[in-house]
Structure formats: structure tokens, C-alpha cells
Amino acid sequence: NEITFSVQLFPSIRTFSLLFCASAIQHNITSQTTPGRSPFLLRTSFGLERPKTTIMTTDTSYDKNIVTVSSESSVPNKYQQDGEEAKEIAKYLPYFPFKGIPRFYDIGGFLAEPEVFQRIVDIFVDRYAEIGIDSVAGLDARGFILGPPIALALKKPFIMMRKQGKMPNTIDSESYNTEYGKRSGLTVQRDKINAGDRVLIIDDLVATGGTLSSAISLVHALGGKVVECACVVELKMFVDPSEESGLPSRTRLFKEQKMDHVPVWGLISEDILDVEAELPEGYVDDGEEH
């Protein structure tokens, strides 16, 4: 019981996007556009029959290629990173040049396709349904898109971790560094996490781990435990790079912050994000440098 469909994706600078930092890329990635070509067509298929909250598929083998900062996790290793389902979903994360970045990934591609977006939610729900989650925390801002449908399906509270100064009755984390520079810390309301709570943290992408480390520190400050940090995309190049590369290391950061027991999981890595958007004639990268 499958359906095959095709869709057109039109990249837009107004959509939510994943940023892939060009200065950090060590693979000599280049981006070329072809003016005058029509927007590309993608084809994929997804099973339509599903339980009310989850879909069980054949792609639930134990993941031998998952990249985490710790092997200690109570989470079953379902859904192989860059597996067959991940490859289908990756087709809806096209890249195009924007703000001086050769590969700017647009999650608006799968958000605009309910069947694909639902599939992502189902994968996350299936992964965490049986391990005793108390709440789901989403990171400002794209974690606010992905987290609520996952929390609803799991029937768990959703917690916002926002930029500072946006909510009352909060505790704040310290500022943190990302691949793009220093950022002010995150904040969470004091009454949303209780001592002993098992919290799942959701975001769209993990790179250096700076934002995740800020979120983890807030959960720990309130006495909670982070079961896992789960993202649609994990940039493996930042997991444990060599000193010679000059790249920031997520593994090193988590060890310094005494968070190396917290597992991180991503469904898709940069290895399969290779769909180049075919831009409309006259497209100009007029964004400011990131």
C-alpha cells in the first residue's frame, strides 16, 4: 500500500533554513547554479498505512553507523543514520547559495510536504515511544516546529527553550559558541522541568553542539536528565575532528562541560545532503554574509 508522487520545490529565502557553514567545510564543496532551468522534480514513496501515532517500517535495524558523543543510551538504535528512509527524506533538503554560504539547506522543503514531514515525526515518535519520556524540549526556533508534533504524538508536555528575555520566571544558561560565533544563552521557565524528569531535546540540526550544550545545562540545573538530543541533521564533521583541521569539536566541548554521557542522534548527515536546487532565472544571492 504505497503511493508514488512528485512535487516541485521552489527555494525561498523566506523559509526556515539549515545553515551549512562554508568556512568550516573541509571537502572543497562548491555550489553552481544554472540560470533558466525549471525547478527540479523529486520522486519518492512512503507507506500510507500507520498506527495512530507511529509507523513501523522495515528500516528499523540496529544502527551501526550512528555517531554520538557517548555509547551510553537507553534509546533503541532504530533508524540507521543515512539509511534508506533518511535518503528519501534528504531529497527534500535542497541546498542553494545564500548569505555567502554555498550550501544553505532549506527545511521548508519537507515542511511543505505533509507526507514527508509526517514521516519524520513518525520516525522520532517510534524511536522514543517506549523509553519513559517525561517531556520534550524544543530549541528556539526550528525546534519549535519539530518538537510540538512529536510531543503531541507521545502525549507529553512540550517545553520551549527560548532566547533570553522572551519569557518570565526563567533560568538562563551562559553564552555559548557555535560554528558561526558567540551566541547569548538559552532560557527555560523554572516550573517546566522537575527533579528527575527525563527530557528529550529536539532541534533541526546539530553541528558543534554549542546550542545543545546550553539546553542540556538548563535541564541539569533543574535536576532533570537528558535522555537524548535528537536532530533531523547531524554534521559529522564536527563530532571529533583532528586538531589539524581547525574545526571545533563537539566531543571535546561535551567533555569539558561534563556532558559526554548525553547521547546525540541525527537521522541524516551531510554525506547524503546532495540535492542542488535548480534556481529560477535571475536568482541573486543578496543576503548578508552569515
Residue 277 inside a domain? The answer is no
Residue 263 inside a domain? The answer is yes
C-alpha cell at 273: 545532503
Q: Give the domain CATH number at 108.
A: 3.40.50.2020
Q: Which amino acid is at 255?
A: K
Q: What is the pLDDT of residues 96-137, one digit of tens each?
A: 887 777 777 789 999 999 999 999 999 999 999 999 999 999
Residue 288: active-site member: no
Whole-number Å distance between alpha carbons of 83 and 79 = 7
- 269: which strand partners? 234
Higher pLDDT, 66 or 159: 159
pLDDT of the residue at 76: 81
Q: Exactly one of 103, 119, 142, 162 is catalytic; which is it?
A: 142
Q: Exactly one of 113, 179, 228, 234 is catalytic; which is it?
A: 179
- DSSP assignment of 60-77 equals ----SS---S-S--SS--
Whole-number Å distance between alpha carbons of 200 and 128 = 9
Q: Please check the confidence at residue 90 and state whether its pLDDT lies above 60.
A: yes
Residue 287 inside a domain? The answer is no
Q: What is the pLDDT of residues 240-274, one digit of tens each?
A: 999 999 999 999 999 999 999 999 999 999 999 99
Residue 138 inside a domain? The answer is yes
Residue 136 inside a domain? The answer is yes
Residue 228: active-site member: no
Mean of pLDDT values over 207-223: 96
Residue 99 inside a domain? The answer is yes
Angle at 275 between CA 273 and CA 278, to 5 degrees: 150
Share of the chain above pLDDT 70, in %: 70
Residue 52 inside a domain? The answer is yes
pLDDT of the residue at 43: 32
| DSSP conformational letter for 166 | S
Domain housing 190: 2-272
pLDDT of the residue at 100: 72
Which range has the top average pLDDT, 75-79, 214-218, 245-249?
A: 214-218
pLDDT of the residue at 178: 53
Higher pLDDT, 52 or 80: 80
Average pLDDT, the chain: 78
Number of Cβ atoms within 10 Å of the Cβ of 263: 20
Predicted TM-score of the model (pTM): 0.74
pLDDT of the residue at 103: 76
C-alpha cell at 61: 535495524
Domain count, the chain: 1
pLDDT of the residue at 55: 31
Residue 283 inside a domain? The answer is no
User: Alpha carbon of 90 to those of 28, 86, 160, 206, 233: distances in Å?
Assistant: 21, 6, 26, 16, 9
